[in-house]
Structure 1
Amino acid sequence: MGIHKRDIMVDRVKAARDTQAAAQEQFKSALEQFDSVVKLKETDLKKAYNNLNREYEASEDIAEKVSSRIEKIEDVADALFNEWEEELALYKSRELRRSSKEQLTKTRQKYREMLRSMRKAEASMEPVLAIFRDNVLFLKHNLNAQAIGSLHGEFANLKGEIENLISKMNHAIESSNKFIAEIKS
């Protein structure tokens, strides 16, 4: 009560941006863990599997958190834009109504660009998680030196996917920061 939807949306965009930054760090950590597994000696396999599985589960959790944050942004944005649209009819001044409608259109456009960027970064998490999941399962069921040898090729794939993910998240974070700055002005 007493908090404007615009402020709530800004807070949610900030939370999503921060969660995406945390997701980047988590995926980097998972990649480092994966790299260390590829380089392990056979006696360390069980420990390596447990560490890698923990990283995978943490990556999965942060990916879900990113999705949840984006959904919360969409909820408040829908409410904000609907309220704004309804309030246009309350203006008596045509000039003020026109100006407010132009501002609404610009804000919606900026919001859609930011959301598209966030959704693109979100979508790039699933391929990374799928490769990660496959390799964790493979390692779980093949705790031997042969399994480690076969992971070298997958490491290159995973590294490329994570680099792509981080690039998309950086773009989404920049888009979020730009949107926050613009909506506050």
Structure 2
Amino acid sequence: MKKQTLLSVTVLALVLTLSGCQSAYYSAMEKVGVHKRDILIDRVEETKDSQQESQEEFKSALERLTTLIDFNGGELQDTYNQLNDDYESSLNAANEVSTNINKVEDVAEALFDEWSDELEQYKSASLKRESSKKLAATKRQFDQLLRSMRSAESKMEPVLTSLHDNVLYLKHNLNAQAVSAIKGEFTNLKRDIQLLMNDMNKSIADSNKFIEQMNSAG
């Protein structure tokens, strides 16, 4: 999206987005030459970026917990505080991912509804047939991407729950014995985070593929 266009609609877009009136937002963007297709590509990019940020936050929390598990003297309170910060950052990053996925789904639905409605405006049967095929193909590609995004999203919750349980337990039991007690949980958490990373990597790859397909088709 061109910088000049973004600057020209920043205030209006912000107001409409905050008000939750997506249809009005899409209409306003359309008037300045930014179509739903462009918005979809941008939002997929934003979701991909937020997933990458989320990966870093979860990795940081895992590393911090590893430091606690391997604790062999020093200041437990400082490491705990850092772990708690990592958990909060992971939670915020996960919420950002979910918000972005919802925004991707919203604009995709609006785009496909508009595309489907416009098929009825064709006078040429061959052009209508060709556009209908492209719509079906794009829908299939998007459905695959959305499934990939939602799959990765679903794996964030058990990781966040486990992280929260460990942080909460340590909050009131900050000693070497408590650290030893959570070692059993650590193995499962480490596995869950790895599964999450794998799913996110797949979703990111699918996002790149979808963006490439949309740009080449455009």
The TM-score normalised by the length of structure 2 is 0.83
- SS state of the match for residue 143, structure 1? coil
Aligned mates of 1:182, 1:16 — CA distance in 2: 17
Task: Tell me the equivalent position of 1:93.
Answer: 124
Equivalent of residue 52 in structure 2, options 13, 21, 24: 21
Equivalent of residue 9 in structure 1, options 37, 40, 43: 40
Q: Write out per-residue CA displacement over residues 125-176 of structure 1, whole angstroms, 9 at most, x where no aligned residue.
A: 0010111110000000111111011122222111101000000000000111
Q: CA deviation at 1:111?
A: 0.2
Structure with greater contact order relative to length (CA < 8 Å, sep ≥ 6): 1
- The answer as to whether partners of 1:88 and 1:100 remain within 8 angstroms in 2 is yes
Task: Tell me the equivalent position of 1:67.
Answer: 98
Aligned mates of 1:184, 1:48 — CA distance in 2: 46
Task: Tell me the equivalent position of 2:25.
Answer: none
Equivalent of residue 131 in structure 1, options 141, 162, 165: 162
The 5 Å alignment of 1:162-173 reads 162-173=193-204
Aligned mates of 2:215, 2:205 — CA distance in 1: 16
Task: Tell me the equivalent position of 2:176.
Answer: 145
The 5 Å alignment of 1:95-114 reads 95-114=126-145
Task: Tell me the equivalent position of 1:84.
Answer: 115
Aligned mates of 1:34, 1:118 — CA distance in 2: 27
Aligned mates of 1:43, 1:29 — CA distance in 2: 20
- SS state of the match for residue 182, structure 2? helix
- SS state of the match for residue 40, structure 1? coil
Aligned mates of 2:69, 2:57 — CA distance in 1: 18
Aligned mates of 1:63, 1:110 — CA distance in 2: 24
Equivalent of residue 156 in structure 1, options 157, 179, 187: 187
Aligned mates of 1:99, 1:4 — CA distance in 2: 20
Equivalent of residue 53 in structure 1, options 58, 81, 84: 84
Unaligned 5+ segments in structure 2 are 1-28
Aligned mates of 2:77, 2:60 — CA distance in 1: 19
Q: CA deviation at 1:184?
A: 1.0
Aligned mates of 1:164, 1:61 — CA distance in 2: 20
Q: CA deviation at 1:42?
A: 5.7
Q: Write out per-residue CA displacement over residues 58-78 of structure 1, whole angstroms, 9 at most, x where no aligned residue.
A: 000000000000011011111
Count of matched residue pairs: 185
Give the 4+ runs in structure 1 shifted more than 3 A. none
For residue 147 of structure 1, what is the amino acid of its counterpart? A
- The answer as to whether partners of 1:91 and 1:97 remain within 8 angstroms in 2 is yes
The percent identity for this pair of structures is: 51
Moved more, 163-172 or 18-27: 18-27
Q: Report the aligned-residue RMSD.
A: 1.0
- SS state of the match for residue 89, structure 1? helix
- The answer as to whether partners of 1:23 and 1:59 remain within 8 angstroms in 2 is yes
